[in-house]
Structure 1
Amino acid sequence: MALFMLLPVCYSYFHPSSTSKSPLLLHSPPQTMTLQEAIATDDVNELYSLIELNEKLLDDISKGPFPNTPLHDAAGKGKTKVAMEIAILKPSFARKLNRGGYSPMHLALQNKHYGTVMALMTLNPKLIRVRGRGGITPLHFVAREKRDNEEENMKLLELLAEFLSACKSSIEDLTNQCETAVHLAVKRGNIEVFKVLFGWIKRTYLTEILDWKDEDGNTVLHIAALEQQPEIIKLLIGHVTEIAMNNQGMTALKIFQENPCGDQDLAKMLHRLGHVASWFQPLPLSQFLRMELSFFQKSTLWFGLRDESARDIILIMATLIATTTYQATLSPPGGYWQDNSSNLLPNSTEVSANSSGIAIEKPHRAGNIIMTGSDLYTFTVLNSAVFLASIGTIWVTAIPLLPHTFMVYFSVFILCVAYFTSIAVEFPKSNLVMRNFLAVSYVSLVIVVLWLPFFVWMKHLRVLHRIDATGRHLKV
């Protein structure tokens, strides 16, 4: 009988976890705290005392594919100090899912321990992207939550903004139903959450996310029309593709027409958009890929990312040439006249002598180029041609990066205007017709060259807006 009574004691010695229902119970002498008690009191010193007694403590009770680690317990209870210490000692615990499919940050969010969430995020911003049950990340969780308490709603909004700022790429994460955080916010009717997401997306130039589709082929605009949310629809118009179709072949405009919300202003706005959208038929992605490359795409392949080092060399050389030719215009061979002279008739181009034998110079004005005749025309035409060629090279190289290179185009345009204005001012007054002809010709050429890339880019953009694709990718 005594032998049977000793068996449980021996088993508990070799298998200490079996003596308690909780996996977090420390197997230590009676005079010390258990790990659960150390977590409950948020006592970091006691945590280290327990680790000194058993250096494998955290590992022993966190085995298995889906363990409920001490970090899960501390985060779920909002014990920030102990949670941070454990996360520092065992960073892998922060990404593990327990049997319920939740990470420590998920548990902290569920129990409204936002301070613990912020601390874990500060330690590792990538924890915002940990997918839990249903593919829900902490960002998804915050986007879909809506509290009755206004103060808690404000905390959630601040937390959402912090998430987005701390981990930009978290916006591209999808749930198991291919939903983004924006999809979830609109489905739950979280207008304020949507405004935060929408404002951040616009500021980071990621509006393409608004055209991503969930598993049913619905974009954010489709969902807003289905849920009859006119405020969100008004915000989205102009930032999304209105002709995109879901898996049922319905556009957002058609959904709204079948489920009107009673907002007459929105109905009129969508009616006008319907007329415009009727001109453009959706273009399947497979059909787009079968099309011949456009001029914009060819220039992107040639001048774009195919060889960045070659592109950098081209830009440097083009800039140097443009600088040199511009400087040559400001300091032409022979220089400028330093004074005014009108001794001869305007049509005279020869230097003659007066009765006293003193040479009389041809008529000129201070600031005019001294060169005349064929030398002046040859220098002006060749120098301007090289200048235009270098400027054109800069423009063409910048085409693949439109619209982000708009300021480059604008600055170069101003430089060209200054260049040709200098030519017009420096030309001799006797060559007024030639001066005006060159100025008008060059300025017209500059305007055409400047306008052409934008025309090509806008034409390419119109084609891209017609493409009806799933999306679900981020080009950042």
Structure 2
Amino acid sequence: MGKSPAENEEEKARESRRRLAIAIERDEVNELYSLIEEDENLVDHGSEGPLPNTALHDAADKGKTKVAMEIAILKPSFARKLNRGGHSPMHLALQKKHYGTVRAPMTLDPELVRVRGRGGITPLHFVAKEKGDSAKENVELLELLAEFLWDKSSIEDLTNQCETAVHVALKSHNLEAFKVLFGWLKRVNLTEILDWKDQDGNTVLHIAVLERQPEIINLLIGHVKVNVRNFEGLTALEIFQANPSGDQDLAKKLRDPTLSKNIRLSVFLRSPLTPYERIVFEFGFRDESVRNIVLIVAALITTATYQAMLTPPGGYWQDNSPNLPANSSGIPAGKPHRAGNIILSGAYLYAFTTLNSFVFLASIGTICMMAFPLLPHASPVYLSAVSVGFAYFATLTIEFTRSDDVAGIVITACFFSLLLVSLAAKWKAWSNHNRLLCGIDATGRRVGHFPKLKHGK
């Protein structure tokens, strides 16, 4: 009795899948495309369900890099699919130590290192945890870890226990992997990740103390908050004291009295706005185009007033004259002067310099106000303001004639002191606000200080 059309079709499909399995086993790309020409839906077989084991899973599991790359090119979505075991193709390749196969799909999609598998484990978490059976294999894993970090945002990914890759490395006692992560975090200025908490509220410092890892503790001191409490209300020092190791040097570092006391995030949010926040919110320009216009106008005014100080009305004396000849009445024809002094004198001189200095100071202050939300990165702006202010007022003092020296010194001292006080007040407000932000005890789990002011956004 002959087979039905459905049975023939099923047998043909089984034969195609068998030949596909052979092509994958032999890593034969040409054979793969020959089969696809016969059945264009070949690589889709078995991929229909919610948790399929696709042809890419099979190729990655067997370390067949060439075929795996071709399938990933044809079907990019397969690289992100999880099978019934909760594994993506990259997870399978990592488990079987096919590191060449791991690297290949990353050339097509670097974000594959962020695919969460079973337990929320990403490939980055996997290599942070895994140790090689040999020195060569360990080097290979550390290189993979370093390569995975090229996707900077991958460090934000958490397991189902809210662990970062740094948590995973510490809990696995993978010291070398931790050093790679720690060095990278310092270089990209993301050491705040070290203060993120897992599901128990433990930061990496808590874990280092719990796991009795003094070398890690020494590395962390100076880069983490030592007063942070976990969800049991314990600081790293209190955990250390509960299980003393006798290392009093570590105990001293964990109780450093110079470090500010942390406050709860909810306490911070309930507190009044800091002076820094009030200045930014009330006087800052949120619209970037408006801020740019203000900066341009302020810079032009600064330039104009500085130039006016260099070329005052009437110009400068061109010669030295300590004693001018008297007129017919015996009264001196003018005041003694020296070359470079301003010819303008008396009330007109004082009015000109006072008004010009006031406008100069206002324009400098406006520029510093626009840079205020960008501290500490805007520190060069403040240094430049002090330098330009000093040059301006020093020039002003030099230009006054001897008879007007006292007035020049008074004007210079008043305005320059006002400039310094204004800049110092802004710096102090920012410093206090930053110290408060650094002391916030929160779970973290997002890159960027909370609550970071998005000025101008």
Alpha-carbon distance in structure 1 between the residues aligned to 2:26 and 2:312: 84
Query: What is the aligned counterpart of 2:242 among 234, 254, 258?
Result: 258
Who is 2:356 aligned against?
383
Residue 48 and residue 425 in structure 1: after superposition, are their counterparts in 2 closer, same or farther (change >3 A)?
farther
Who is 2:317 aligned against?
337
Instruction: Say whether residues 1:26 and 2:11 are aligned partners.
Output: no
Residues 187-214 of structure 1 deviation map (CA, whole Å, 9 limit, x = unaligned)? 1222222222122222222222111111
Correspondences of 1:190-205 after superposition (within 5 Å): 190-205=174-189
Alpha-carbon distance in structure 1 between the residues aligned to 2:138 and 2:328: 95
Alpha-carbon distance in structure 2 between the residues aligned to 1:211 and 1:48: 51
**Does structure 1 conserve the Cα–Cα contact (< 8 Å) formed by 2:346 and 2:404?**
no
Who is 1:455 aligned against?
428
Who is 2:87 aligned against?
102
Correspondences of 1:62-81 after superposition (within 5 Å): 62-81=47-66
Instruction: Say whether residues 1:313 and 2:293 are aligned partners.
Output: yes
Residue 97 and residue 375 in structure 1: after superposition, are their counterparts in 2 closer, same or farther (change >3 A)?
same
Query: What is the aligned counterpart of 2:8 among 7, 10, 13?
Result: 13
Residues 78-97 of structure 1 deviation map (CA, whole Å, 9 limit, x = unaligned)? 22222222211111111111
Instruction: Say whether residues 1:441 and 2:414 are aligned partners.
Output: yes
Who is 1:419 aligned against?
392
SS at match of 1:312: helix
SS at match of 2:149: helix
SS at match of 2:301: helix
Alpha-carbon distance in structure 1 between the residues aligned to 2:209 and 2:124: 24
Instruction: Say whether residues 1:186 and 2:186 are aligned partners.
Output: no
Alpha-carbon distance in structure 2 between the residues aligned to 1:261 and 1:122: 47
Alpha-carbon distance in structure 1 between the residues aligned to 2:103 and 2:399: 66
Instruction: Say whether residues 1:366 and 2:366 are aligned partners.
Output: no
More deviation, 442-451/175-184? 442-451
Residue 433 and residue 40 in structure 1: after superposition, are their counterparts in 2 closer, same or farther (change >3 A)?
same
Who is 2:378 aligned against?
405
Alpha-carbon distance in structure 2 between the residues aligned to 1:303 and 1:209: 32
Once the two structures are TM-superposed, the CA of residue 12 in structure 1 deviates from its matched residue by: 4.4
Q: Structure 2: which 5+ residue stretches go unaligned?
A: 450-457
* TM-score normalised by L of structure 2: 0.90
Residues 15-40 of structure 1 deviation map (CA, whole Å, 9 limit, x = unaligned)? 34884xxxxx625xxxxx82222222
Alpha-carbon distance in structure 2 between the residues aligned to 1:192 and 1:329: 62
Residues 336-394 of structure 1 deviation map (CA, whole Å, 9 limit, x = unaligned)? 223322233xxxxxx74489x9x966432222222111222112111111111122122
Residue 266 and residue 373 in structure 1: after superposition, are their counterparts in 2 closer, same or farther (change >3 A)?
same
Alpha-carbon distance in structure 2 between the residues aligned to 1:135 and 1:103: 12
Instruction: Say whether residues 1:208 and 2:192 are aligned partners.
Output: yes
SS at match of 1:208: helix
Instruction: Say whether residues 1:291 and 2:271 are aligned partners.
Output: yes
Alpha-carbon distance in structure 2 between the residues aligned to 1:200 and 1:17: 53
Who is 2:203 aligned against?
219
**Does structure 2 conserve the Cα–Cα contact (< 8 Å) formed by 1:76 and 1:104?**
yes
Residue 300 and residue 232 in structure 1: after superposition, are their counterparts in 2 closer, same or farther (change >3 A)?
farther
Letter in 2 for 1:147: G
Once the two structures are TM-superposed, the CA of residue 227 in structure 1 deviates from its matched residue by: 0.8
Alpha-carbon distance in structure 2 between the residues aligned to 1:332 and 1:179: 67
**Does structure 2 conserve the Cα–Cα contact (< 8 Å) formed by 1:177 and 1:214?**
yes
Residues 198-250 of structure 1 deviation map (CA, whole Å, 9 limit, x = unaligned)? 22222222222111111001111111111111122122222222221111110
SS at match of 2:182: helix
Alpha-carbon distance in structure 2 between the residues aligned to 1:119 and 1:440: 68
Alpha-carbon distance in structure 1 between the residues aligned to 2:8 and 2:142: 50
Correspondences of 1:107-118 after superposition (within 5 Å): 107-118=92-103
Between the two structures, name the one with larger relative contact order (CA 8 Å, sep ≥ 6): 2
Residue 115 and residue 322 in structure 1: after superposition, are their counterparts in 2 closer, same or farther (change >3 A)?
farther
Query: What is the aligned counterpart of 2:225 among 207, 217, 241?
Result: 241
* TM-score normalised by L of structure 1: 0.87
Correspondences of 1:342-357 after superposition (within 5 Å): 342-344=322-324, 352-353=326-327
SS at match of 1:15: helix
Who is 2:452 aligned against?
none
Residues 296-335 of structure 1 deviation map (CA, whole Å, 9 limit, x = unaligned)? 1222324557333322222222222222222222222222
Alpha-carbon distance in structure 2 between the residues aligned to 1:91 and 1:119: 13
Residues 122-172 of structure 1 deviation map (CA, whole Å, 9 limit, x = unaligned)? 21111111111100111111111222422222222222222212x111111
**Does structure 1 conserve the Cα–Cα contact (< 8 Å) formed by 2:214 and 2:250?**
yes
Alpha-carbon distance in structure 2 between the residues aligned to 1:362 and 1:238: 64
Residue 472 and residue 17 in structure 1: after superposition, are their counterparts in 2 closer, same or farther (change >3 A)?
farther
More deviation, 133-142/200-209? 200-209
Who is 2:401 aligned against?
428
Alpha-carbon distance in structure 1 between the residues aligned to 2:266 and 2:223: 24
Q: Structure 1: which 5+ residue stretches go unaligned?
A: 20-24, 28-32, 345-350
Correspondences of 1:147-186 after superposition (within 5 Å): 147-165=132-150, 167-186=151-170
Alpha-carbon distance in structure 1 between the residues aligned to 2:245 and 2:135: 27
Once the two structures are TM-superposed, the CA of residue 468 in structure 1 deviates from its matched residue by: 2.1
SS at match of 1:184: helix
More deviation, 35-44/287-296? 35-44
Who is 1:465 aligned against?
438
**Does structure 1 conserve the Cα–Cα contact (< 8 Å) formed by 2:358 and 2:415?**
no
Alpha-carbon distance in structure 2 between the residues aligned to 1:152 and 1:435: 75
Aligned residues: 448
